[in-house]
Structure formats: C-alpha cells, structure tokens
Structure 1
Amino acid sequence: MRDTTVAARTTAVVWTVGVTAVLAGMPLMVRGRLPDPLATHWGLGTGAPDGSMPLWAASLFPALIWLVTAGATLGVLLRDRTGSHHPWTAVTLLPTGIVLAGAQAALVRANLDRADWHEARQPTAWIVAILVAAVVAGVGAWFVATRRAADTAAAGEHASGVPALDIPDGRRVAWFSRTTNPWLRLVAAVTGLAAVGVLVAIVGGLADPGGLWAAFAGCAVAALSCALFSSVQARVSERGLEVSFGPLGRPARRWAPGDIDAARAEVRSPAQAGGWGYRVSGLGTTVMLRAGECLVIRPRGRRTEFAVSVDDAERGAALLNALRADPHRR
C-alpha cells in the first residue's frame, strides 16, 4: 500500500507541474506569431470569434484554473492514508489536464500567424478530438485505479492470519502480492509528460513537426516501457501462479500447479540478479523491482528458476506447494 501511495502522489505532482508549464508556456513560446489580444471564444454556429483575452491572460488564466483544480485534488490525495481516493484523483487529474492542455493547443493553433484575433476560426475538429481523448483517458484511469485498489484489498485479506496449508475440500484459496518501483514510475511520468508536450507542440503548430515526431516516439516508448515494468503482481490460486506486469496486468506469465516442481521464498539483491527489472542471470530469471524477499519457483523440466520480488513470498510459496501436492486441485 505504501509503495502504491507514494507512486500515486509522485505521478500526480509531476503531472500537475508539467501541465502547468505547458498551459502557461505555450502561448509565450510563440508570442511573436500571435496577435494580441487572442481570440478565446467563438459564437455558436458561426465559427467567428466573439471574445478575446490579452496574451498574458490567455497564458495564465488556464494555468490558474488547473492549479486550483489540481491543488484541491492533491490535497485530498496527500491526506488519504487508505488509497480509497486514488481512483477519483486519477479520473480528475488526467482528463482535466488533457482537456486544458488540448484546448490551449487548439487556441494557439487557431490564432497562429493571424494579424488580428477576428481572423481566427473555431477549431471544432480539435475540440471534438480533445474531448474524446479525455473521456478515453478518464475511463482508462478509473479502470486501472479501481483494479489496483481491488487487488490491494485482496492482498490485505489474504495476508491476515496464519495460512492453513491443509486446505479443506471445496474451499477456494488465493494469495496476492504486489511490488512497485517508485523511481520507474517517476521516469514513466516524466517521459510521458514530455511526449504529451511534444505532441501538443506538433498539434499547436509551434515547431516543425519533422524532427519532433522522432522525439515524441522516443519519449512515448520510454514512458510505456517504464510504466509496464514499474510494477509486478503475483497471484496464487487453484490455477497456479500468475505473474503480471504494469497497471493493466499485461503482459503476464502463468504456471499451473502441476508445471511447478517446487516453490520457496529467498532473499535476493539486484547485484545477485544482475540489475533491476526483468533480468536473466546464472540464478535464472528474476523480476527485480526491490531488494529483499522473492518468490522463487522451479518449473518442471527446467534447470533454471523464476523469481519475482514481492512481499509475503513465504506464504505464497507455502500455498503454491500445497496446491501442487494436491492432485484434486490441479
């Protein structure tokens, strides 16, 4: 829970600071190509602007709206000790930031290289695209945050008390554990924000898109890779062991109870595993997100082992061995 909370707070702070910089800095970066004042409102059905703001106001006003919204949301997140508010903060911060940053990019693009704000035309297509992106992002954020909260609750439920390895017939059992690396989450947030900033610059026409597409692709790939392998979940049930990665639980590796020769808990360090992340070394394959206790299995017919750094690994190994020894549960 603590790792998840720290990662959520860090990501929220990075996102807040980054969106603020984009909102305030975008019009100022191309102020030489913008009229002053800027067209900021268009009449319904006409496409002609009927409202304007000075350049400084168009730069600061959206940033202030964002800071008030994000500040209130962050206040709730920082006071939260249970993780129950994580889904709501994710759904508030992510879509709101996308809407404001996208609207600012559309506004700049509509006014770019216009001699007077009356010449700007309403960016209807961009507004629709921004709203669709915000809805998709909001739904995705809710799915990820609620799934994580459910998994954390399940982990707490199965971690309480002393496990009974003599499993009664007809009784369903499960064990769950999760590990998060906050530093990889931070790298994912920073590179993801950089990708958003580059995309906004391309959409807003702030720079030649030729060289920026490569920068966007590099930042996007780095953000996706770090996000996928910044967290790992291990689940033991009648189906065996499932180890999944990232907020969506994909990709994943699975072993049925009959496919495992033995399971145990072992303390390992990054030096032993060959570094951080998904490592292959003389010990076999190790998913190393933090030093300490690991759940280790030896797949049947294999000489090498598979290990994953998760808490409460001894309980998970004991349950997995109990399931492996009971042919009626395979």
Structure 2
Amino acid sequence: MNVRRWYIPIAVGWTVLVAVLVVVAPVPLLDRLPDPLAIHWGLSGRPDGASPYWLNALVMVLLWLVIAGLPLYRLIRGDALRRRHDRRWMCAVLAGGGVFVLALQTMTILANLDRTDWRDAAPVGPGTLLAVFGVSALAGAIGWALARPGPDEEPPASGRRPPRPLRTLRSGERAVWVSSATAGWAVTAGSGLLLLAVLLGVLPPLETEHRIVLAVSTGVSAVAALALSGVRVQVNARGLAVAFGPLRWPVRRIPLDRIDRAFVDRRWPADVGGWGYRVRPGSSTVMIRGGECLVVRYGSGRELAISVDDAERGAALLNSLVAERDNDRS
C-alpha cells in the first residue's frame, strides 16, 4: 500500500482549507462586528487589545502557516512517510494546530458578535481557553490515530557502517572535505516567525508593552529556528569544524587530537529526541534531517553525530587523517 498517495493530498487540502476558513468564514458576519474588533483579553478576562479584521485574519493565517510548515514539508518530502511514528506526529500537529487556529478565530468572532465597540466584547475566561486547548488536543489525538495505517519503510541497509578507505595521502599532500545540510522546514518556520515578529512590532492597534513582548519573544524563536536550519561541516588536517545557520555562525571546532575514529550511521529525530542540537548520555547530535549522519568518536568514548550529506567521504577522510597522525607519533 502506497500511503504517500493519500497522506499528501489530505495534508495539503487541510492546510488550504484551514487558511481559507480563517479568512472567509467570518466575512458574512462583518456587518455584525465592531471595527476594530477585540483580539486580546487580559488576565481579568476583559478585552484589552483590538485590531482591524483583515489584520487579525492575516496574523492568524501566518500563525497557521508557521504551525503547518514543518509537518507539511516533511510529508511532501517523504521522510515522515517512511516511519509510522514520524507520520503520526506530523498528522497530529496538522490536525491539532488547524483546529487550534480555527477555535481561536471562532472564539474571537463570537466574543465580538453584535457588539458596537470592541471594549464591550464578551469576556474570555479560563473555561473558554481550556475549551480551545481541549478541542485542539482532541483533534491532535484523532490525527495521531488516523495516521496509523501503513508500515514502516526502513531502508534495507540501515545502521552503522565503516566508510570506504581513502588512498594514503602523499607527503605534503593535504585534503579537505566540505559538506552541508539544510532543513527547509526550519528556514520556512524561522522566516515566518521573523515576519510575524516584524508585523507584531509595528501593529498600531496593540498596546506598546504587549507589542514589545510579543515581538521580542517571536523574534527570539525566529533566530533560534534559523540558527538550527542548516549546518556546514569541514574536515581538514586540523580536525573537524561545524558551522551553524545561514550565517555559518557559531562554529564548533574539534581538534584532530581529540578524535579516535569516524563512521557513518543512519539516525532519525525520533531516535535522538527531536531536531536541533540534542545532548544525551555519551553522545551529542546535530539533527538537521533524518538519515545518514557523520559520527565522530572521541578518545574519551563520547560521540558527536551530525546529519550531513556525503557523510561517508567525510568519515573516510577523518580516518585517514587519524591514521596519518598515529603513524607520525609511532
């Protein structure tokens, strides 16, 4: 059974449907809504922020695109379809996130319905928020359950393997290996969050303190997502250098003297606890995308794994440099 045939059309259709409903569904009720309408409620439950309908709808659509960007990218790319666990998480995020955005928009419209001024909007208390999160969690659980059909499609040659050996370097000869990997979903999410931060920073209807807090928190999230959106790895006679993000900064350098050997392994986000920089007992992982990873074992026994393209050649060069170092010492 080829699950790709129906998972992807449903995911794309759901993403488009949610975006359309957020914008179009309230349009017949616009003559019954104040302009601007209340979009934020304080701890007391009373409205304390307002925005024109079109601006609120734009922010909601951008929020939905940020939520849906990762699972949609992974499903279309196909890597999330190969493993049931990943597939179920992606569908749960799509289902729960979509219902969450729709529930937020519904809550906002109902609170403002038939009010002449946004300050007179109905209060929003903990019960309403619990209902929004509850229905979103239920939708996520349904998405998780519905994504179960279809077996895992593990590659036939998974697991660790030693790299093919390189020829011995001649005296005075130097070799350099450079490779990279980019997570398109992280670039999309980071760019979307950055755009959202800019919009929040210039929204005139929001009070200054709310605008600053939202803009700064969203901006920090955008920087974090972009910093972990890609990696560039270089191997040379000095050792290993790992540069992060589109600006290739920061850079982590590992001297050749610390390296015992290198090999290739296939690892996935579910194996190491997610994406980004993951630290576990005895090992660290830079997980940009699931699949082939360059794994470096230190003399102490600890390992560093980096998901990067052409990992086998990088491991082979590292092993050749380590062998040359050991020969020079003996």
TM-score normalised by the shorter chain: which range applies? Answer: 0.3 to 0.5
- The two structures have a TM-score, normalised by structure 2, of 0.47
- The two structures have a TM-score, normalised by structure 1, of 0.47
